[in-house]
Amino acid sequence: MKVYIIDYHKDDPKKCTGKKLVKLHFAELTRQGKGIILDPYSIRTLSILDKDIAKKAGITIVDTSWNETSEIEFRNIKGEHRRLPILFAGNPTNYGIAYKLSSIEALIAALYIINEVEESLKIANLIKWGHTFLELNKELLESYRNKSESEIIKIEKEIIEKILREP
Ligand SMILES: C[S@@+](CC[C@H](N)C(=O)[O-])C[C@H]1O[C@@H](n2cnc3c(N)ncnc32)[C@H](O)[C@@H]1O
38-51 residue pLDDT tens: 999 999 999 999 99
Cβ atoms of 79 and 33 within 8 Å: the answer is: yes
Residue nearest to atom 9 of ligand 1 (CA): 102
Kindly tell me if the per-residue pLDDT of 136 is higher than 90: yes
The pTM of the full predicted model, rounded to 2 decimals, is: 0.97
Q: How far is the CA of 167 from the centre of ligand 1 (A)?
A: 29
Residue 83 phi/psi, 5-degree rounding, is -95, 165
- Work out the pLDDT band at 69, boundaries 50, 70, 90: confident
> Which of the listed residues 5, 43, 61 should we mutate to test ligand 1's pocket, taking the one with most ligand atoms within 8 A of CB?
61
Q: Give the domain ranges of the chain.
A: 3-165
pLDDT for residue 13 is more than 90: no
Residue ranges around ligand 1 (CB below 6 Å) = 11, 15-18, 38-40, 61-64, 66, 69, 83-84, 99, 101-103, 106
CB 10 within 8 A of CB 64: yes
Query: Which amino acid residue places its CA nearest to atom 14 of ligand 1?
Result: 106
Mean local confidence (pLDDT), 89-102: 96
Beta bridge partners of residue 28, listed in sequence order? 4
Cβ atoms of residues 159 and 140 within 8 Å: yes
Centre a 10 Å sphere on the Cβ of residue 100 and count the other Cβ atoms it contains: 16
* 62 CA → ligand 1 middle, Å: 6
Nearest CA residue ID for atom 10, ligand 1: 103
pLDDT tens digits, 101-114: 999 999 999 999 99
> Is the interface score ipTM higher than 0.95?
yes
Answer whether residue 12 shows pLDDT above 90. no
- Give pLDDT, residue 11: 83
Quote the pLDDT of residue 7: 94
Predicted local confidence at residue 107, as pLDDT: 98
The percentage of the chain sitting over the pLDDT mark of 70, rounded to a whole number, equals: 100
150-160 residue pLDDT tens: 999 999 999 99
Which three-class secondary structure state does DSSP give residue 98?
strand
